[in-house]
Amino acid sequence: MTTTPSKLEKIIKSGQYAVTSECGPPRNGNPEGIAKKAELIKDHVDAINVTDNQTAVVRQCSLASCIRLKLMGLEPVLQMVTRDRNRIALQSDILGATAFGISNVLCLTGDHQRFGDHPSAVNVFDYDSTKLIQTVKMMRDDGRLQGGFEMHEHRPNMFIGAAENPFADPFEIRALRLAKKVEAGAQFIQTQCIYNMDKFKAWMKEVRALGLHEKVAILAGLTPMKNVGMAKYMKNRVPGMDVPDSVVKRLQGVPKDKQASEGIKMLIEQIEELKQEEGVRGFHIMAIEWEEKVPEIVEAAGLYPRPSVN
Amino acid sequence: MIVAKPKPIGEIIDMIKDLNKVLVAGCNGCVAVCEAGGLKEVEVLASALRMHFMQEGKRMEIDEVSLTRQCDKEYFQPIDDQIDKYDAVVSLACGAGIQYMAENFGEKVIFPGVDTCFIGVTLEQGVWSERCQACGQCVLATTGGICPIARCSKRMLNGPCGGSEDGKCEISIVLGRDVPCGWHLIYERLKKMGQLDRFAHPSEDKDWIASRDGGPREITREDVRP
Amino acid sequence: MRLSYPTNVRIVKVPCTGRVAIIHLMKALERGADGVFVAGCLEGDCHYQAGNLRAKKRVNYVKQLLANIGANPERVAMYNLSAGMGPRFAEIAREMTEKVRQLGPNPVKTGGAIKEVAA
């Protein structure tokens, strides 16, 4: 029995692997930008995340794009960061999403605005991701806003997700943090993209030791490497990203025009390996600005066609 | 203490260039400790300003004074009688002191000679670091004595975030200097104290009404009023 | 040693150049000196450990400050020599005098009649 109308929740509860992906909205008012990306992947994923001003770079707001996807008959996941909005705006957006039947929300704290193109902005962070999870849960299960107001009808009914980074420090508390988010109300997790399989497995071991794999559905995050440059950039310039030397070396070992396909190959190998990992309930494929590769990946990983649920 | 830093002298010159008599007023409190606005700094600034205007052939009278503090009315007394003769005062006190001087000497133009930055501590001579955001509701008891509001870039209550790497905040890479991850520091303290279970449960909500967000603050302590 | 050095050099004796404060250098120039130099012990030989290094830092601070107010940083300088290097002192005095002479009188005195730096 599912808690929400979410299609993603239904697939997860059915015991099959879930497949999600993400799309970034355009940096202008283009009404078709998100629709075009979604068209490329819609038959190969169960739900589509729309990023929320990712890396603090201004783009069309996630809510607008999610509404568009919903109107196209697709299943959006509303990503919400707490960096830019206070509790008033966050709850307001949840209500707006509810009005359009959006049933999935991914609660994030968000990259610091110094990474983006408006580093001078005020830093909101009224809540962090954990508090946002609690808030959405309260709105759904108690029908209350944080300030106490009670909604007698049309309560948000969202499948609540969160992110977790098994590769950030300190490692010792990464499983505890997941426990905290689960206690707050997280029902599914999408992890930071995995390159260090050993570390991910070590984290999964801790997660299983706490019994969390039975309380929350973990979707393994994966991003295909396009070339050596990307691998090195991710390794050195992105905080919280763990790219082992072996990954870089493997890409270096093939000619430049073959690196992209090698990256895809590596990702598919990872999926196969992760299918053996108890507690992994699906895959979150983040092929940013490379969405056209998602169908190929999903098919090669034996995850196509996607199941249909009612 | 309140940590401030001297304004670029060019900015100060711009403020006073059309005037004739200026008083540079320092403060022997916090700004003296962080070497931005004490007597020493007043003397050097006044000398530099005089030299600048003399070079331009401009006759400018620049006097010097340093007060015990500029956040208590009584300490303005030494300049009560003379302040009228100045066109303006360049105050090197913190933002509070500069404003209080303006409030105290109603018609007088008071210019800021420093940029007031944060409440912090001296790490070593010449290096000061932020520690407190004056949020009005101290949570240090639950975080091993390390403040998540002041020391976490995202003022998270349920940190660390996914960008914490090697004990450093993700913004270190953008700033080009190492910013310790506040939550990593909290983790290490709580680990020593055997309180890691704090990481397993969501924390209490934060009421920002007690901080700047609730509006300009004022405290009335009946117990110490006359 | 009875070596000669220019008569325009006024000497202020200090036990260690670490005693020289920024305000001393500023005052000298403010009061009309055309130049001021600090002669400290050779680096590594300071009797009081690092007084001459502090002096060096302060001289550099004053150079920067002079630049910021439109004065010439060359009017202040740091030199290092040992107490026994009489001829070197004379040489420094002559060198500094010559440098300052080329810069012209301190505009602080002339009231900008002769401009140091284009406004």
Whether residue B156 lies within 8 A of chain C, CB to CB, comes out as no
> Tokens 């009231």 — which residue?
C111
Task: Report whether C101 contacts C93 (CB < 8 A).
Answer: no
Q: What pLDDT is recorded for position C112?
A: 66
| Best residue of B42, B43, B55, B62 to probe chain C, by most C CBs closer than 10 Å | B55
pLDDT per residue as tens digits for the range B82-95 = 999 999 999 999 99
User: C65: which chain B residues are within 8 Å (Cβ-Cβ)?
Assistant: 9, 44, 48
Among the residue ranges A30-34, A238-242, A301-305, the one predicted with the least confidence is: A238-242
Q: Which structural domains are found in chain A, ordered by start?
A: 7-300 (3.20.20.220)
Interface contact A128-B184, CB threshold 8 A: no
Q: What pLDDT is recorded for position B198?
A: 84
pLDDT per residue as tens digits for the range A233-274 = 999 988 889 999 999 999 999 999 999 999 999 999 999 999
User: B171: which chain A residues are within 8 Å (Cβ-Cβ)?
Assistant: 112, 114-115
Residue in chain B nearest A181 by alpha carbon: B202
Q: What pLDDT is recorded for position A6?
A: 96
A68 is written with which tokens? 């568009």
Q: Which of B43, B51, B58 sits opposite C23 (nearest CB)?
A: B43
User: B172: which chain A residues are within 8 Å (Cβ-Cβ)?
Assistant: 239
Across the range B115-131, mean pLDDT stands at 97
Task: Report whether B182 contacts B162 (CB < 8 A).
Answer: no
More confident residue, B79 or C83: B79
Interface contact C22-B44, CB threshold 8 A: yes
Residue A234's φ and ψ, nearest 5 degrees, are: -60, -35
pLDDT at A202 over 50: yes
pLDDT per residue as tens digits for the range A160-191 = 999 999 998 888 889 999 999 999 999 999 99
Residue A215 confidence class, pLDDT cut points 50, 70, 90: very high
Count the Cβ atoms, other than its own, within 10 Å of residue B190: 21
Residues composing chain B: 226
pLDDT at A139 over 80: yes
pLDDT at C101 over 70: yes
User: B51: which chain C residues are within 8 Å (Cβ-Cβ)?
Assistant: 26, 29-30, 69, 71, 108
Which residue numbers of A have CB closer than 8 Å to B's CBs?
83, 109-112, 114-115, 119, 123, 125-126, 128-131, 134, 146, 163-165, 168-170, 172-173, 176-177, 179-180, 183-184, 192, 237, 239-240
Name the helix (H) or strand (E) containing B9: helix B9-16
User: A240: which chain B residues are within 8 Å (Cβ-Cβ)?
Assistant: 162-165, 170
Q: Which residues pair with A161 in a beta bridge?
A: A106, A188
CA A111 to chain B, closest CA, distance in angstroms equals 8
Name the helix (H) or strand (E) containing B100: helix B95-104
Q: Which structural domains are found in chain B, ordered by start?
A: 2-118 (3.40.50), 135-210 (no CATH)
List chains adjacent to chain A, taking adjacency as at least 3 C-beta pairs closer than 8 Å: B
Q: What pLDDT is recorded for position A2?
A: 65
Whether residue B18 lies within 8 A of chain A, CB to CB, comes out as no
Whether residue B189 lies within 8 A of chain A, CB to CB, comes out as no
| Best residue of C20, C23, C76 to probe chain B, by most B CBs closer than 10 Å | C23
Residue C7 confidence class, pLDDT cut points 50, 70, 90: confident
DSSP string for residues in chain A:
--SSS-HHHHHHHTTSPEEEEEEPPPSS--SSHHHHHHHHHTTT-SEEEE-SSGGG---S-HHHHHHHHHHTT--EEEEEESSS--HHHHHHHHHHHHHTT--EEEEE----GGGSS-TTS----SS-HHHHHHHHHIIIII-B-TTSPBP-SS----EEEEEE-TTSSPGGGHHHHHHHHHHHT--EEEEPPP--HHHHHHHHHHHHHTTGGGTSEEEEEE----SHHHHHHHHHHSTT----HHHHHHHHTS-GGGHHHHHHHHHHHHHHHHTTSTTEEEEEE--TT-GGGHHHHHHHTT--SPP---
Q: Which of C26, C70, C112 sits opposite B44 (nearest CB)?
A: C26
**Rounded distance between C-alpha atoms, residue A46 and residue A76, angstroms:** 9
pLDDT at C84 over 90: no
pLDDT per residue as tens digits for the range C34-64 = 999 999 999 999 988 899 999 999 999 999 9
User: C103: which chain B residues are within 8 Å (Cβ-Cβ)?
Assistant: none
Q: What pLDDT is recorded for position A206?
A: 95
Q: Which of C26, C27, C116 sits opposite B55 (nearest CB)?
A: C116
pLDDT at C119 over 50: no
Residue in chain B nearest C32 by alpha carbon: B51
Across the range B204-218, mean pLDDT stands at 92
Interface contact B164-A111, CB threshold 8 A: no
User: A91: which chain B residues are within 8 Å (Cβ-Cβ)?
Assistant: none
Residue C110 confidence class, pLDDT cut points 50, 70, 90: confident
Q: What pLDDT is recorded for position C114?
A: 58
Alpha helices in C1-119 (DSSP H): 22-30, 51-68, 86-103, 107-110
pLDDT at C118 over 50: no
* Average pLDDT over all residues of chain B: 95
Across the range A26-49, mean pLDDT stands at 95
pTM of the full structure:
0.91
pLDDT at B48 over 70: yes
The rounded percent of chain C whose pLDDT value lies above 70 is: 92
Across the range A219-223, mean pLDDT stands at 97
Interface contact C30-B50, CB threshold 8 A: yes
Task: Report whether C21 contacts C58 (CB < 8 A).
Answer: yes
